[in-house]
Structure formats: C-alpha cells, structure tokens
Amino acid sequence: MGIVVLTMKASVIEMFLVLLATGIHSNKDMTKKIKRPKLTVPQINCDVKAGKIINPEFVVKCPAGCQDPKYHVYGTDIYASYSSVCGAAIHSGVLDNSGGKILVRKVAGQSGYKGSYSNGVQSLSLPRWRESFIVSEGKSQKGVTYPSALTYSSSKSPAAKTDEATKAYQKPPVPGTTAQPVTLTQVTGATATGAAHASLPKPSPSAGSTSSSLRPQPVGLRSRELDLWATSTYTSGQNSPRADPGEMDLWKPGSVLLDAGFVPKEELSTQALEPLSQGDPNCKIDLSFVIDGSSSIGKRRFRIQKQFLADVAQALDIGPAGPLMGIVQYGDNPSAQFNLRTHMNSRDLRTAIEKITQRGGLSNAGRAISFVTKNFFSKANGNRGSAPNVAVVIVDGWPTDKVEEASRFARESGINIFFITIEGATENEKQYVVEPNFSHKAVCRTNGFYSLNVQSWFSLHKTVQALVKRVCDTDRLACSKTCLNSADIGFVIDGSSSVGTGNFRTVLQFVANLSKEFEISDIDTRIGAVQYTYEQRLEFGFDDYNTKSDILNAIKRVGYWSGGTSTGAAINYALEQLFKKSKPNKRKLMILITDGRSYDDVRIPAMVAHHKGVITYAIGVAWAAQDELEVIATHPAKDHSFFVDEFDNLYKFVPKVIQNICTEFNSQPRN
C-alpha cells in the first residue's frame, strides 16, 4: 500500500514539473512577443492631405499611382499641409509612383512655398500656410513608437478601408516606463453653418495619471522643442491667409490636454480661428477672367477650366490689399458671374467657381472683351483705380467673332489683355478661323509675354504658375500705361503784351481743360508750367502738385506777366527747368501756346527738344506764324501743330489735341 502511494506521489510531482516547465517556456515566448511587437503601418489614399491628419509624426503606406497631377502639392522639400502626402513624397524623391512606406513629420507653417518640377510632379507655389510637413524614408527611429492608426480631422476617414470612430495614438516611451495608448475621438471638421464640436470621452482613471500630465508630445520632440513648435504652429494659424474648412490648427496651447490616463471634459472646436488674408500686396491687380462657356468646349473641359480657375485663385492669395478677381463667361453673349468685390478671399472665390454652370452657344470672345471694357472695370464693380486692370481671355480653339477692334479699345482703356489659347487650329482647321492671328491682334503686346498656347486641356494645369507670375509682374503690365496716365506734360505759355489780360485768362482756361482729361498723380501724369515773355518763369514743376484739383488751382493762380516774345529761349528754359526732371519711364510732352512770331530763333531749340525725345505740340492764335509753328512741332507737323484765329475758339481744339496725343501713343509698336 505504501509503495503505491509513493508511486502516485512521484507521478504527481513529475506532472507538476512538466507543467511548470511548460509554463516557463510559455512565459518566455510571451515575454519575447511583448518585447518585439509587430508594427502595423496605416495605409492612406493618394488624395489625403497632411492637414487632415492630426498626428504630428507618423509612418504611412502610400499606394501606387500618386504621381497624377490631380493630387496637388505645394512647396519644395518643406510642403504646405494642404498638399497630398503621397504626392509630396514622390516630389521629394522619397517614393516613386509604385508607392511604399514614408515617415511624415509636421513642422511650423512657412511664410512662402516655392513650386518646382521634380520626379515627375509639378508642385505649386503658395504665399503662406499655417502648417507644414517634411517627408523621409519610412524607417522607424529607435525607441520611438508610431501610431498604428491615424486620427483624422473629419468624421469620415479618407484612409483606405477604415470606419473606426476612435484611433489609438502612441506616446513615445520614456526609458523605464511602459507606453500606454491614449484613445482620441475623431474630430469633426467645421461646416459652413458653424463650428462642429466633438466631445472627448473621459477614460477610467489610472494609477499612473496625475493632474500635472498635460498633453502628448509630438514624436521626437523634447518638451522645450514642443512648446516652441506648438507656439509657432498656433501663430502661423493666426496669420493664415486661407483656411480649408476640413483643416484645423493642431496642438494649440490649451486646446487639447492629454496624457496617459487623463483627458479633460471640455470640447474641442475645430473651426478655424485665423483671420482671413488681406491678400498679397506684391500682386495688387484687378483681374477679370473671361472664360469660354461655348457648347464646343463640352462638360468635361469646362470642369477642367473651373479647376484651373480655382488653382489660380488659390495661388494668387486674393484679398483687399492684394489681387481681386472676378469672372465673365461668354457663349453667344457675355455675362458676369461675379465682380471684383463679390469674393474677397481665395477660399470663398474657389467655392463660387465650383458653382459656375456652362452657358453654351457660340464662342464670341470679341463681344466678351467689349463687355469687359465697358462694364466690368467700373468703380461700382470694385475697380480700385490704383491697381492695374488685367483681363485673361481663355479660348477653346478659336473665337467665332473678331477680337481685334474690341481688344484695341480695351488696350486704349488701360486693360492688359492676356490670351490663353487651348487646342488651337491645326493646318487643316485654319480655313475655318474667322480672324487669322486673332491672339496676336488681341494681346497687350506681341512679345510672347501675354500669350499662352496650350496643346491640350489636360495640360492646362501646368500653366498656373507661369500665368500667376506674369499677371503679378506689374512692372511689365505695359497696357496699364495709357495716353492719359503716363506722361510728364509741360505747358509753355506766351505771356507777352499782345496777349492781354482777358485773353491770358482764356489761355489758362484752355490749359485747365486739357489738364482735366489726364489722370494726375505722382505715379500717373504730372503737369508743369512755364510762362515767358523776353524772360521765363517757372510757374510750377512736375513735383509740386500731385492731384487734379491742386493742378487746376495752381493754373488759376498764374498771373499775367506782359512783355516781349522770345519763344526759342522759352523752349530752352523748359527743357532745363521742367523736362530735365522728368521721370525716365514717362512720355515727355511740351504744349506751347503763342500768339505771335518769336523775336529769337526757334529752330535750334526745337531740334534740341526733338533730339531729347520731347514730343512738342505748337498751338498758335491770331498773329502766330504758321511756318514757325511747324518748325517747333514734332514731325509730322500736321498732327502736332494747330492754328486758331481767335482766343475764344481755343476750347474747340481740346478734343483734337487729346485725340492726337492718344492716337500717337496707341500707334507705338506692341512689342
């Protein structure tokens, strides 16, 4: 009996030892598994923007095919968070079009982002944005744990195959501690009707949590770096010019207080807090897009055209201190979709562009240009006067009416006309074109600066940056300079005894009537005046008065001098005292008014004036010598010299003088 018992005890001990060994082995396996967790890499789609993802640093997997130009990228090396994450990865050279893993790290917003072409991707420029990111190879850093699932700023995650309401965010482990996951509720993006809120659930208290634990640090940043990073991100958000409703400022001080085991009860508002941009002051223009809504363009190409307009609006940084933009659509007849003051920022403008519907009909671009000249650039429609007027005409193929005459009138009105011709006529199609070389006849200048020829509608997006650069180059907008706003005009007035006090006042009224026709300011037309007899006197110079009212008052104050008639000496005096101080970019116009033959020689002074580029108009009254007027006047004399028999008829010549000044200005070569 005792032997049996001993045998049973031995069996029990043996079984216990086997179980114990098995348990130890299992624990070793479990420990091994815990020490080496397998990293799950979230996958995203090509169209996911960095600003949609709340996590400050993460590893993701991009699919193949993200090199498509529809996935917009802004910047070079450092990208605006409005960019496609995967598109930026290809542009930077970290990935190719076959996709793969990348590491993304958020950084502060930049004051500007420069576009470039790299690795088959054309990135765009952006004046400024509140948040940026950089991309590197998807290799995990030692000691850093990345989130296995991402947190998005909208209720529907754009990531592939995920409908989860919550995502785990891993805080970087601190040596000697165990990293604990924190659960974040997905944040709903702001809507047009108001800010949407998402309540953060309070988890069960944990033994390790304390009230001093505040918020999770972005991966890879120490606490001091985090404070600087969070402040710069918040500040850049306050200065952001444009805010996508789906994006939100991340990690603003005081907005999210998180740590392992602690989440406050307050709700997180996702409505953008930054003020709207005032616009780019380096591109202060009044811009009209004249878009093709004809039936021939088709619905698909019309959508491409609208996307192009939206991209331009985004790149321009619309605002009251910068560029303003309106749109006219043409078919059979033109119609303003909205004017310059309807939408005062890029975000609202893009929304309005999306709502434009196609008109249909013919492609009457000439009629549209006339409409823009007569109606669009008015003060009531937001024309500021101080900003150059620019019209960009988009034509599918060729217009069905003529554009030359309408465009000439637009140029003479100070409108800088650009033409974008898409899929122009082939050699076999040119027989159907109503007006050959229509673009050449329409644009402000024929030097290629104002023309863009695009081979295909599907290449139109590639011209965004080229066009923005050109329309913003205000120094080269030559058609802003018209016959009425680009001259230094010096009046040389005969004050001799033969004129008399009453007639002298009539001459001054003639000078005032001419001056009224010009746009007067320190950067537009400037006016000066010299009175002469035997001697000469500077009544006022080009820099003395900068407004039309001041000029007219100065003319009224000119006193009659009386004396002899030394016209040759007066011309020399005007060249020295007036035109020597003329600006290099101004046309120099001398308008001389006399009632008799000069006591001195006028030939040499007149030749000197012509040699110095001063365009001289000679106006004779009563006893003036017509042969002398023709010598004084610039060639051809018939266009620059006038004779009137009585002082009281001087006023009749105001329109003729203005017409000749403008005709000469507009006849200059457009190159």
Q: What is the 3-state secondary structure (H, E, C) of 614-645?
A: EEEEEEEECCCCHHHHHHHCCCCHHHHEEEEC
Structural tokens at position 2: 């005792």
Delineate the domains of the chain, giving CATH numbers in brackets: 50-137 (2.170.130.20), 286-476 (3.40.50.410), 487-667 (3.40.50.410)
The angle formed by the CA atoms of residues 150, 125 and 49, to the nearest 5 degrees, is: 15
pLDDT band at residue 467 under the 50/70/90 scheme: very high
Closest CA to 200 of 278, 274, 262: 262
Task: Locate 211 and state its tokens.
Answer: 């009230």
| Stronger pLDDT, 476 or 634, i.e. the higher one | 634
Pick from 11-25, 136-150, 197-211, 578-592: least confident = 197-211
Global confidence as pTM:
0.50
Q: Which residue has the tokens 């200059």?
A: 668
pLDDT higher than threshold 50 for residue 516? yes
**Residue 37 scores a pLDDT above 60:** no
Collapsing DSSP to helix, strand or coil, 122 comes out as strand
Burial class (CB in 10 A: 0-12, 13-18, 19+), 660: middle
Task: Please say whether the beta carbons of 390 and 323 come within 8 A.
Answer: no
Euclidean distance between CA atoms 460 and 312, whole angstroms: 11
247 CB neighbour count, 10 Å cutoff: 26
Distances in Å between the alpha carbon of 392 and those of 54, 220, 291, 339, 407? 39, 48, 8, 14, 12
Would strands 117-118 and 57-62 be described as parallel, antiparallel, or unpaired?
Answer: unpaired
Q: Do residues 495 and 533 touch, judged by C-beta distance below 8 A?
A: yes
Task: Please report the pLDDT score of residue 116 as a whole number.
Answer: 87
Q: Which residue, among 268, 106, 110, has the nearest Cα to 186 in the 3D structure?
A: 268
| Between residues 186 and 297, the one the model is more confident about | 297
- How far is CA 367 from each of CA 335, 408, 444, rounded to the nearest angstrom? 10, 13, 17
DSSP conformational letter for 594: E
Order of strands across the sheet with 451-454? 334-338, 324-330, 286-292, 389-396, 415-422, 451-454
Could you report the per-residue pLDDT of 159-176, keeping only the tens digit for each?
A: 443 333 333 333 344 343
What is the full DSSP assignment across 326-382?
A: EEEEESSSEEEEE-TTT--SHHHHHHHHHT-----S---HHHHHHHIIIIISSGGGT
